């Protein structure tokens, strides 16, 4: 089976490489000629564990190609995935201009039956919008009678473990209006049968809603534990013990109960705002998610207040910040709490020395007047305090005595609760975590 994937961002590139790993013939398309040239030369433009291995192996085997011409990819394909960016527009709207452009391009080269699949996270009813645009474009090209299906197959990929999530998913959701399309999409995922992966087959609107509801719930769970953590600090409770006991309740579960500076990344901030906005447009308020967004933004300010308090005011001081990506194992800084904290420190008059294992190149394009350092010890050297903003594994194994010697003052603000308070105090640090 030939598959086309339009868009080579996180979702598109992982989708294309993993389908090729299943043995399918995949052509990925992007309008960025430099990116395509790099991919054809074996250079993966994003950091994602195992992705470069998958891309190189399947490209060498002839199962994975990268092109700039939509027609070259779409004409031979039975299934076409739309995986282009859907950025936030004004007041939380979702900018669907890239999706619209792709739908028109598909319609222009619709010579035979195709299953067109939205993989990007889009507002509910976007598939119907795609269907109308494809139909109009095909009719304008004189192919009004060519049949096609439009489906939704949302992704549930976590950056930092996206390849593993694709190859061993919790579930596969297929939203379609006809059985032919359902069977074709199930055939794409046939290698997962041996893993007994659950398939949820439903109509298109429901599949679109599943994605938004899932992300909104996880964002709410993160925000809830942060609110509880803030209360724990006031009453002398330990949020880790609270979260652990909560998580032992099977109705609640342990995941996403880790306090910190709030959620970030390319999905949760955008998708929660989008859910609120398109719900309002349909006359249905999402009051819980509105409060989640507000509380998540306030959590950033709370972290800045904590740093201010621990340092006696950051104005004129030098702060070491470890971690810039929104989570470990990715170079993605979109809506990163760490980036917001750096900017907040700069607004208060601090100078920032920063280190991240993968995200410094991306951060350098967004942050001015930051000293980017070669490692954590270099960042700590001569700094008035250290802020741990992203919980990369290598930060868990730092030589803390060496860190203490490098700092002008032994102050650590641990926004991810990586370190043990008693151990830090035994080593002579003034230490502040979250909710402890």
Best CATH choice for the domain 2-202 from the list 3.40.50.2300, 3.40.50.720, 3.40.50.12780, 3.40.605.10: 3.40.50.720
Residues of the chain with CATH 3.40.50.720: 2-202, 298-432
- Taking the C-alpha atoms of residue 128 and residue 136, their distance in angstroms, rounded to an integer, is 12
Instruction: Using alpha carbons, select from 75, 76, 80, 69 the residue that is nearest to residue 31.
Output: 69
Element (H, E) at 414: strand 411-414
Element (H, E) at 260: none
Residues of the chain with CATH 1.10.1040.10: 212-292
Extended beta strands in 70-147, E state: 79-82, 114-118
The DSSP result for 48-80, as a single string, is: -TTHHHHHHHHHHTTSEEEES-HHHHHTT-SEE
CATH architecture, range 212-292: Orthogonal Bundle (1.10)
Q: How far apart are the first and last CA of the chain?
A: 54
Q: What are phi and psi of 39, to 5 degrees?
A: -65, -40
- Give the per-residue pLDDT at 294: 97
In 3-state terms the chain splits into helix, strand, coil percentages (rounded to 5) of: 45, 15, 40
Q: What are phi and psi of 263, to 5 degrees?
A: -80, 155
- Give the per-residue pLDDT at 1: 87
The pLDDT tens digits along the chain (436 residues) read 899 999 999 999 999 999 999 999 999 999 999 999 999 999 999 999 999 999 999 999 999 999 999 999 999 999 999 999 999 888 889 999 999 999 999 999 999 999 999 998 899 999 999 999 999 999 999 999 999 999 999 999 999 999 999 999 999 999 999 999 999 999 999 999 999 999 999 999 999 999 999 999 999 999 999 999 999 999 999 999 999 999 999 999 999 999 999 999 989 999 999 999 999 999 999 999 999 999 999 999 999 999 999 999 999 999 999 999 999 999 999 999 999 999 999 999 999 999 999 999 999 999 999 999 999 999 999 999 999 999 999 999 999 999 999 999 999 999 999 999 999 999 999 999 999 8
Instruction: Write the CB contacts of 339 (distance below 8 Å, at least 6 apart in sequence).
Output: 324, 326, 333, 363, 366, 367
Count Cβ atoms below 10 Å from residue 314 Cβ, excluding itself. Answer: 25
Instruction: Using alpha carbons, select from 97, 119, 108 the residue that is nearest to residue 3.
Output: 119
- Give the per-residue pLDDT at 221: 97
> Both tokens of residue 326?
């929104």
- Alpha-carbon distances of 307 from 337, 383, 388, 417, rounded to whole Å: 14, 13, 11, 14
- Alpha-carbon distances of 289 from 256, 276, 315, 391, 423, rounded to whole Å: 16, 7, 35, 26, 38
- Give the per-residue pLDDT at 65: 97
Instruction: Quote the pTM value.
Output: 0.93
- Give the per-residue pLDDT at 185: 97
Active site residue 267: yes
- Give the per-residue pLDDT at 91: 83
Element (H, E) at 310: helix 287-311
- Taking the C-alpha atoms of residue 40 and residue 60, their distance in angstroms, rounded to an integer, is 10
C-alpha neighbours within 13 Å on the C-beta side of residue 206 = 9
Instruction: Write the CB contacts of 91 (distance below 8 Å, at least 6 apart in sequence).
Output: 277
- Taking the C-alpha atoms of residue 279 and residue 208, their distance in angstroms, rounded to an integer, is 13
CB-based contact 111:75 (threshold 8 Å): yes
Instruction: Write the CB contacts of 5 (distance below 8 Å, at least 6 apart in sequence).
Output: 12, 15, 16, 19, 26, 27, 28, 29, 73, 80, 81, 83, 119
| Size (the chain), residues | 436
Determine which one of 28, 151, 267, 373 is catalytic.
Answer: 267
Instruction: Using alpha carbons, select from 154, 155, 112, 106 the residue that is nearest to residue 131.
Output: 106
3-class SS string, 154-196: CCCCCCCCHHHHHHCCCCEEEECCCHHHHHHHHHHCHHHHHHC
Best CATH choice for the domain 298-432 from the list 3.40.50.720, 3.30.230.10, 3.30.450.20, 3.40.50.300: 3.40.50.720
Count H helices, E strands: the chain?
A: 18, 14
Distance of CA 173 to the CA centre of its chain: 19
- Edge to edge, what strands does the sheet with 64-67 contain? 64-67, 25-29, 2-6, 79-82, 114-118, 148-152, 172-175, 199-202
- Give the per-residue pLDDT at 90: 80
């Amino acid at each position: 089976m030939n598959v086309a994937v339009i868009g080579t961002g996180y979702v598109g590139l992982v989708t294309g490489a993993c389908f090729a790993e299943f043995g399918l013939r995949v052509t990925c398309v992007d309008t960025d000629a430099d990116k395509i040239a790099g991919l054809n030369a074996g250079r993966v433009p994003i950091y994602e564990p195992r992705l470069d291995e998958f891309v190189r192996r399947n490209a060498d085997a002839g199962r994975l190609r990268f092109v700039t011409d939509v027609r070259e990819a779409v004409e031979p394909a039975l299934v076409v995935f739309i995986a282009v960016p859907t950025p936030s527009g004004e007041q939380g709207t979702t900018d669907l201009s890239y999706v619209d452009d792709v739908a028109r391009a598909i319609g222009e080269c619709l010579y035979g039956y195709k299953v067109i699949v939205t993989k990007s996270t889009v507002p509910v009813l976007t598939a119907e919008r795609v269907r109308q645009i494809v139909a109009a474009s095909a009719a304008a090209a004189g192919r009004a009678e060519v049949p096609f299906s439009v489906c939704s197959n949302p992704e549930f990929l976590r950056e930092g473990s996206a390849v593993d999530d694709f190859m061993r998913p919790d579930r596969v959701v297929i939203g379609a209006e006809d059985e032919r399309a359902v069977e074709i999409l199930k055939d794409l995922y046939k290698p997962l049968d041996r893993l007994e992966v659950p398939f949820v087959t439903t109509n298109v609107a429901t599949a679109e809603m599943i994605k938004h509801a899932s992300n909104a719930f996880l964002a709410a769970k993160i925000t809830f534990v942060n609110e509880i953590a803030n209360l724990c600090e006031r009453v002398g409770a330990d949020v880790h013990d609270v979260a652990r006991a909560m998580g032992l309740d099977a109705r609640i579960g342990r995941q996403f109960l880790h306090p910190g500076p709030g959620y970030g990344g390319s999905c949760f901030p955008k998708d929660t705002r989008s859910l609120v906005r398109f719900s309002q447009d349909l006359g249905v308020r999402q009051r819980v998610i509105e409060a989640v967004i507000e509380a998540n933004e306030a959590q950033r300010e709370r972290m800045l207040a904590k740093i201010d308090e621990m340092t006696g005011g950051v104005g004129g001081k030098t702060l070491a910040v470890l971690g810039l990506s929104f989570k470990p194992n990715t170079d993605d800084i979109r809506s990163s709490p760490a980036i917001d904290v750096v900017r907040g420190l700069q607004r208060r008059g601090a100078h920032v020395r920063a280190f991240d294992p993968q995200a410094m190149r991306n951060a350098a394009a967004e942050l001015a007047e930051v000293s980017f350092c070669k490692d954590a010890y270099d960042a700590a050297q001569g700094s008035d305090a250290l802020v741990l903003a992203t919980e990369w594994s290598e930060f868990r194994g730092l030589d803390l005595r060496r860190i203490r010697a490098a700092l002008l003052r032994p102050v650590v603000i641990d926004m991810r609760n990586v370190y043990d308070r008693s151990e830090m105090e035994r080593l002579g640090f003034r230490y502040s975590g979250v909710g402890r």
